[in-house]
Structure 1
Amino acid sequence: MNTEALTQYKLMILYLLHSVSYPLSNSQLSGFFLDNEYTTYFTLQQCISDLVEAHLISSHQSRSTTRYEISDEGKQTLQFFENEIPSIVKDDMEQFLSKNKLRLQHESSVYTDYSQTDKQDFSVQLELRESSSLLCRLDLDVPDEEIAQAICKAWKKKSGKIYSFLLSELVEDEENK
């Protein structure tokens, strides 16, 4: 793969990450590049890895996904070289983001992960975000992995409802005092 093409893909990744106010997962980035047949999966992964290593993007890994955000250094780099991205490619990226905005935001707003603790139980981490703001974070200890997996699955489906319930219960208790 020639260096110019790799540089182009890296700039495109930076542009996509800069265009949203929330992290994008590896599968979301892959979706754009592979659906539009810009490059192969392996080339894309190499470009992402290079960007992380150069501290132009940061990665946040969980059991089920890796999410990426552009760093300040990445923003500066993009500012210098954004004009190297052809306008037709920028249009493709803008169309992708516009067409998939709600799905991308929803997928990025709900985060789950779990890990085994020293006590041989499992620690479950749950988050709900709106853009880059953290709305709610719950850390739960549970006795086994099946329960941890079930909680993660349920959080993905019910996080908004649970968050609303928590707020209403906490505010209701405060008003009744």
Structure 2
Amino acid sequence: MFEDTLELAENKLLLLYIFNKINFAISNNQITQIILENNFINYFTLQQYISELVSSNFLKYIEKDGKHRLIITDKGLKVLNLFKNRISNQKKYLIDEYLKNHLNNIKQEVTITADYTIEHKNNFIVNLKAVENDCILIDLKLNVGSNDQAKKLCAKWKKHSTEIYSKIIKAFID
């Protein structure tokens, strides 16, 4: 029983550690992906821990662009700083390495968005957006004639947003 309690505490601290290292709000799906890819906690237990950390005000949900994201609170940071030494060095190392290799992708998922909606039968509105440091760089809405075009625009934006943004800026400045 004592070991279960220690594991529970370490896993919750590990979650706080990850949120602190990332240092920006992320989705539940993103934290789930990080945890499952590293085989730290099973899905159902993870969701329970997140719920408990939110209830205890160590994590909080914020709404950003109509999407709910999680972020560590000041209270969560204080607890983490007090008990960080209870997280195994191996787990901290694994998380640090994972974030070193994946943080840019996680950031891009949060800051680059692309989606579309049906306006009328053959009329789709594509919304392409880039945000950096809570500042909107570009928020572009395009009207296209097919679902296929809308999907292609979204995919291309997600893959090449930086280059496309630069070309748009250059076209207006030159």
TM-score surpassing 0.5?
yes
For residue 3 of structure 1, report the CA deviation from its aligned partner: 4.9
State whether residues 57 and 74 of structure 1, in contact with CA within 8 Å, keep that contact through their aligned partners in structure 2.
no
Q: 1:5 matched to which residue of 2?
A: 7
For residue 113 of structure 1, report the CA deviation from its aligned partner: 4.3
State whether residues 58 and 71 of structure 1, in contact with CA within 8 Å, keep that contact through their aligned partners in structure 2.
no
State the Cα deviation string for residues 102-130 of structure 1 (Å, max 9, x = none). 4334334322345678xxx8765433244
Matches within 5 A, 1:87-102: 87-102=89-104
From 120, 127, 130, the equivalent of 1:128 is 130
From 57, 61, 65, the equivalent of 2:60 is 57
Q: Distance in 1 between matches of 2:27 and 2:63?
A: 9
Q: 1:161 matched to which residue of 2?
A: 163
State the Cα deviation string for residues 28-49 of structure 1 (Å, max 9, x = none). 4233322332211111122223
Q: 1:175 matched to which residue of 2?
A: none
State whether residues 125 and 137 of structure 1, in contact with CA within 8 Å, keep that contact through their aligned partners in structure 2.
no
User: Measured at CA, do residues 66 and 123 of structure 1 come closer, stay the same or move farther in structure 2, by a change above 3 Å?
Assistant: farther
2:20 maps to a residue whose letter is H
1:57 maps to a residue whose letter is K
Q: Distance in 2 between matches of 1:31 and 1:40?
A: 11
| Percent identity of equivalent pairs | 29
TM-score normalized with structure 1 length? 0.68
1:163 maps to a residue whose letter is Y
Contiguous gaps of at least 5 residues in structure 2: none
Q: 2:141 matched to which residue of 1?
A: 140
Q: 1:77 matched to which residue of 2?
A: 79
State whether residues 23 and 67 of structure 1, in contact with CA within 8 Å, keep that contact through their aligned partners in structure 2.
yes
Q: Distance in 2 between matches of 1:168 and 1:145?
A: 28
1:43 maps to a residue whose letter is T
User: Measured at CA, do residues 98 and 139 of structure 1 come closer, stay the same or move farther in structure 2, by a change above 3 Å?
Assistant: same
Q: Distance in 2 between matches of 1:6 and 1:39?
A: 10
For residue 144 of structure 1, report the CA deviation from its aligned partner: 8.2
From 89, 110, 113, the equivalent of 1:111 is 113
Contiguous gaps of at least 5 residues in structure 1: 173-177
State whether residues 126 and 144 of structure 2, in contact with CA within 8 Å, keep that contact through their aligned partners in structure 1.
no
Q: 1:45 matched to which residue of 2?
A: 47
State whether residues 14 and 78 of structure 1, in contact with CA within 8 Å, keep that contact through their aligned partners in structure 2.
yes
TM-score normalized with structure 2 length? 0.69
State whether residues 16 and 76 of structure 2, in contact with CA within 8 Å, keep that contact through their aligned partners in structure 1.
yes
Q: Distance in 1 between matches of 2:26 and 2:115?
A: 16
Q: Distance in 2 between matches of 1:113 and 1:5?
A: 40
